[in-house]
Structure 1
Amino acid sequence: MITRLADTAPVLVLAMIAGAGSFTHIRDTATEHGQAGWMAWAVAVCIDLTCVMAARERQRDRKNGRERRGWISWPTLVLVGGITLSLSANLAQADPSAWGWITAATPAGAFLTAVSMLERRSTERPAVPDELAVPDELDPVLQKPAVLDENGTENGQNDTSTAGALLDYARRIADEHHARHGRPITRDNLRARLGVSSQLASALLRTLRDTTTKGDPS
């Protein structure tokens, strides 16, 4: 807990300080262009919060595995627009010199960098092994997938222990896939990983979904 706080606190502090600096420049620019009083504050809040909201929406899209339609997603377009407005307002308050522009743009740049760092950290997933170890009792099963039917029967004999081990192994593969990609495994992915028939992969996937829906702790 302390380590996580020490790791995150500097980024949060930077975001608040940089956001305050960028906010001030935006408010002053709005005031100079006719938005007096609370409206100037509202403009500044809208622009800064729009950037934060768009960054969070981008993170949510990646977490849910949402596919982009078109060359740019809507949250990304909103984020680019917010960045453009923020930088423009900061540069409008700068002295007309190279260093004036750089120093005026620093708060906005630091704020956006801090937001992107927080967004990046929030999308981290736990490390998972490249390959899961195959249980010893499943070695002959996965070497001979053709002898299994959709009920997990081997050579016409209903082997409960083998069927249970196969289901447990399929569950481990499904959990690994979800941890790595952020979405449930498909039948074809499961079939390719196990080397079994499509019918057996479908049966295993149905069983996994049923046990998850019923809240099976295993």
Structure 2
Amino acid sequence: MARPPLRVDAVLVQAVIAGALSFAHLHDIAAAAGQDGWKAWAYPISVDLLLVAAWRRLRSGTAKAAAWCWFVIALAASLGANIATAGLLDLNQVPAWLRILVAGWPAVAFLGGTLLVHTTPQPETATEDQKDEPDPAPEPLAQPAIGATPERPAVTVPAALIDHARKVAADHHTRTGTPIDTPTLRARLGVPAPMAEAIAAQL
């Protein structure tokens, strides 16, 4: 099988060049501020690691406020070194405030890296996990036994309708001499069968 031709990614090359230049500028600033030897090389590594840690936290979607804060701090340190070495600052006579910033950077980087690594995820993650869980299946309704007569719900009859039904029943008894039956009562009152039965039970 033929190997695919090697392709050069322009964006990757640009990133390597920019990283190398920024690395060198940070080294020069640290060396000019009195951090000689291996310490001057450790400063650009510290800045780049803080940038990477903040970027990874931003990509993970948790604690974005803290991630943006430390990303801006590390970016400002890198960008500041690039600008300072562009001829705007005499590296032979570094001001005291810059020496203080360079000397205090390790503590700042350690604090930022620790907070980014050990920050717990936001509570929304647990909520989303609960949303992904399927809803429990509803319990089936109990089926009535075979041959059992379903119970009818109780019918509430207004008192005024009971009084009117008594008058209708009395009139029927006067005219026919027999008590009124439920179908006749229902027809005279114009009510449903369950209500007619409930009225007849109270007469």
Normalised by the size of structure 2, how large is the TM-score? 0.41
Q: Which structure is larger by alpha-carbon Rg, 1 or 2? A: 2
Larger relative contact order (Cα-Cα within 8 Å, sequence gap ≥ 6): 1
Higher normalized helix content (fraction of residues): 1
